[in-house]
Chain A
């Protein structure tokens, strides 16, 4: 029984460590991907441009259980979005190198959600 408990505890710790690694935010990679896709042409980190700031998106979604998935969907679906002047256009689909690397896109989504007010 004692051995089983120890093994379970060790496995839980290992899993927790693995998850932390898997979710570790690589800010530089996220910023590079944002630049690669020209995100900052329409979004500021904390300043609205033609599109809302990353901070506004983070504030809207922060704390929601599916926040990352929602940002991910926004980055990849090419859905129609409303611009600051009220007109609409299709959002650019974010591309990665290699193509369709979900890990890179999730990292960018996590970065967007991590923006805090100054």
Chain B
């Protein structure tokens, strides 16, 4: 019971300390904050590691195997784009939003939504379209961490590729508008824009 007559946890938390100085509380709070923040970010970064992503067979036996055949996994210069480089924004706010949304995938894991190759293929189109829509909404923000129209060299690109990039820039297109399936197999039945034009 306090002087004001209130009791309980909340009242105890609100009551000024009669034992510790303000300085002691600030020092403990400061270092406690550093420890908490460091631990939180370390844990967050651990979930960005490729070994975390492929810890589940749903990723390891499907999209990871496909990704291993692409230029984003192995290339002349030895620069590798990992899962998080393409699927998790780098800035903190968007990363947190992505992580919170990704927690829904845990529900999928628990319920076995894609736990067989057949189920994975049945859901591939929906999963791919969701991811493409997310990337389109952010102007392919993850691609742009490494690629930009400004940095593309006309001399270094094939003539046809350069032409397409110039057209895409003029039309305000974004990377994922054309580069779907650059690291994973396209869903069966999916046609890239323009492929149907003459049918």
Residues of A within 8 A of B (CB): 28-29, 31-32, 34-36, 38, 40-42, 44-47, 50, 83, 87, 89-90, 92, 95-99
Contacts and interface: CB of A to CB of B under 8 A. Distances in A.
Contact of B159 (A29, A32, A83): A83
B159 A99 contact: no
Interface string B173-199: 000001001001110111110110111
A89 B160 CA distance: 8
B185 A97 contact: yes
Contacts, number: 59
Most buried by A among B65, B186, B199: B186
A31 B191 contact: yes
Nearest to A90: B158
Most buried by A among B65, B164, B192: B192
A50 B160 contact: yes
B69 interface: yes
Interface of B: 65-66, 69-70, 158-160, 163-164, 178, 181, 184-186, 188-192, 194-195, 197-199
B182 to A, nearest CB: 9
Contacts of A95: 69-70
18 contacts: A28-B188, A29-B188, A31-B195, A32-B185, A32-B188, A32-B190, A34-B195, A35-B186, A40-B192, A40-B195, A41-B164, A42-B160, A45-B198, A47-B198, A83-B160, A90-B158, A96-B69, A98-B65
